[in-house]
Chains A and B, each alone.
Chain A
């Protein structure tokens, strides 16, 4: 299956808001409510920020939110902070015991 489409990079100033999109198809993002988002700092393991489209694990700030419309999922980050600078990956269940990932988005906090 093809990878989900994410912008290669996004940026924002501290305190601003950014949104990262993740576009798939009706066979993955559009077909299931199993979209998750991961934050990865250099040299670290990915950390789940959002699961099941819009659920936040305990400990993740409510500045992070997820949504989905048709075949596109989005991760919104409000009140940007320096520590938010990282790579972000989206992931969707795609049926038949498969997952598909986006190519990753580098978030730069200016």
Chain B
């Protein structure tokens, strides 16, 4: 059974940084493009960023470009999302996910002064 476990969320002030982690188990991790998806309160699902299996290819939603950095460590079966210059609009539950329907339980990020 595939398991994705996110961690690293919390309460931060505007302008601060946060690093999310997602530990994967039960899948050939390096074969999967990994993604971060978020859901703001009362809103729909929004893709944030993706990284190819090798880590050589990354992509970002316009809302994340220049502020967020996705990375992965295939030796640890873990994908990361470094989030800088956070704003209130980044408040959301952040999930890691694959295109094949593997999905974590999410970690809550709250940006508030």
Contacts and interface: CB of A to CB of B under 8 A. Distances in A.
Interface stretch (B13-21, B23-31, B83-91, B101-109): B101-109
Contacts, number: 63
Contact of A46 (B51, B99, B103): B103
A101 interface: yes
A99 B103 contact: no
Contacts of B93: 45
Nearest to A36: B101
A103 B39 CA distance: 11
12 contacts: A34-B99, A45-B106, A48-B102, A48-B103, A52-B100, A91-B99, A93-B99, A97-B58, A99-B37, A101-B45, A101-B46, A104-B45
Interface of A: 32, 34, 36, 38, 45-48, 50-52, 57, 89, 91-93, 96-104
Interface string B29-56: 0000101010000001111001110000
Q: How large is the interface on B (under 10, 10 to 19, 20 to 34, 35 or more residues)?
A: 20 to 34
A89 B101 contact: no
Given A48-B101, A96-B59, A104-B44, 15 more contacts: A34-B100, A45-B95, A45-B103, A45-B105, A46-B45, A48-B102, A89-B44, A91-B45, A93-B33, A97-B57, A98-B47, A98-B59, A99-B35, A101-B47, A104-B45
A50 to B, nearest CB: 8
Q: Is the interface of B mostly helix, strand, loop or mixed?
A: strand
Contacts of B47: 98-101
Nearest to A52: B100
B69 to A, nearest CB: 14
Contact of A38 (B35, B45, B59, B100): B45
The residue in B57, B58, B99 that gathers the most chain A C-beta atoms within 10 A of its C-beta is: B99
A97 B103 CA distance: 16
Interface in B67-113: 93, 95, 97, 99-106
Contacts of A101: 37, 44-47
